[in-house]
Amino acid sequence: MAFLEINKLVKKFGQEVAVAGIDLAVEKGEFVTLLGPSGCGKTTTLRCIAGLEHPDNGEIRIEGEPVTSTEQDIFLTPEDRNLGMVFQSYAVWPHMTVFDNVAFGLKIRRTGRAETKEKTTKALELVGLAHLADRYATKLSGGQRQRVALARAIVYGPRVILFDEPLSNLDAKLREQMRIELVRLQHEVGITSVYVTHDQTEALVMSDRVVVMDKGVIQQIDDPETIYARPANAFVANFIGVANLLEGKFLSHEGKFADIEIRTGNGAPLRLRALGGESASPGQKVILSLRPEDVHLHLQPPGQTLNVLEGAIIDTVYQGNFLDCQVQVGPHEVGVQMDHFEQLSPGQKVYMTFEPDHGLCLTE
């Protein structure tokens, strides 16, 4: 039995279905991220776990105990679930010191004075704010206030910590630093964590597993490496990182590879080979997914004949550590990332190649 279980969860707002019957199991000590675009249902799912929303159907269990069950008419209040929550807005009280902000949860639980001091001091040490215990929250930076919110969430030993886009208000450099800090802290404390974000980098960097959602439905649950390298469908491929998605027709299988026909305009169709397509049938419409960093650009015809696309430069954009090239291949635009810089002009003929195990055949 998983530490946190969600079964057939449904939440509607009027006629709009925000969460459409999802199932999810989170193991003890695991860091799981709900990832997806705005309106995909990730925050609603988190609020249902927290007890801030009444679902229309389904069950949520923590350590085997039902905290929400529409069938059994069970709905524990947020305070009775023993969960910690870190919000996007920090929700740090400006009229209190750092110490009092963190100790607040213990005080309302009527924890003794000595124990409150010990636990609060330990939580502040964990987040690196013990030296600011007597400072008022108004005198803190955004990153420091976020640490206060985190210390307040862990101080009373919650069963699960819920994070609702906690880093979105921070600048890029501080956000990157806080990602590392959160992962370190989560591993040190070992608290089961559910994290909501629309930032794919956060999800890939921080998570043990990523849950990709769209339109209230889970599209894929996997570790970050699998989510990126083997997306389950075109939505996941396009949402996680950047992907070239070329429509084609499935031809046949050869071992672990699929042969795909891609039309390029007036010329003969291309026969390309990529991983996947296990469930595809001959003639079926499929999507060829190619990451820009896995496509190699050549100024002269390459020596190989497998997986060669001929096209013309549309535009190039200097991105600092790489050159982002857009290439027209018949009706398709293909993005390529070059780590070396060539003088390329719009309309210039180029050739692109990719290894079969760097492409992915996806069925819709």
* Same-domain pairing of 196 and 309: no
Give the strand pairing for 209-214 and 217-222. antiparallel
Q: Which domain holds residue 179?
A: 4-235
* Same-domain pairing of 92 and 68: yes
* Same-domain pairing of 250 and 214: no
Length of the chain: 364
Which DSSP helix (H) or strand (E) runs through 352?
strand 349-353
Last residue of a domain, one of 219, 235, 251: 235
* Same-domain pairing of 205 and 305: no
* Same-domain pairing of 180 and 270: no
* Same-domain pairing of 179 and 198: yes
Total domains in the fold of the chain? 2
Q: What is the pLDDT of residues 87-107, one digit of tens each?
A: 887 778 888 999 999 999 898
* Same-domain pairing of 147 and 123: yes
Question: Counting Cβ atoms within 10 Å, is residue 282 exposed (0-12), middle (13-18) or buried (19+)?
Answer: exposed
φ/ψ (deg, to 5) at 182? -65, -45
* Same-domain pairing of 159 and 289: no
DSSP assignment of 223-240, as one string?
A: -HHHHHHS-SSHHHHHHS
- Written as one letter, the residue type at 332 is H
* Same-domain pairing of 226 and 250: no
* Same-domain pairing of 223 and 263: no
CA distance 40 to 48: 14
Give the CA angle between residues 17, 22, 24 to the nearest 5°: 150
Last residue of a domain, one of 202, 235, 268: 235
* Same-domain pairing of 106 and 17: yes
Last residue of a domain, one of 235, 261, 284: 235
Give the strand pairing for 296-298 and 349-353. antiparallel
Give the strand pairing for 308-318 and 323-329. antiparallel
* Same-domain pairing of 185 and 290: no
Q: What is the pLDDT of residues 58-86, one digit of tens each?
A: 999 999 999 999 999 999 999 899 999 99
CA distance 263 to 100: 66
CA distance 227 to 236: 8
CATH code (residue 341): 2.40.50.100
CATH code (residue 124): 3.40.50.300
List per-residue pLDDT tens for the chain, 364 residues long: 899 999 999 999 999 999 999 999 999 999 999 999 999 999 999 999 999 999 999 999 999 999 999 999 999 999 899 999 998 877 788 889 999 999 998 988 889 999 999 999 999 999 999 999 999 988 888 888 888 999 999 999 999 999 999 888 888 888 888 898 888 888 888 999 999 999 999 999 999 999 999 999 999 999 999 999 999 999 999 999 889 999 999 999 988 999 999 988 767 889 999 999 998 999 999 999 999 999 999 999 998 889 999 999 999 998 888 889 999 998 999 999 988 777 899 999 999 999 999 999 998 7
- In DSSP terms, 338 is beta-bridged to 323
- Residue position matching structure tokens 């206030």: 145
Q: Three-class SS of residue 355?
A: coil
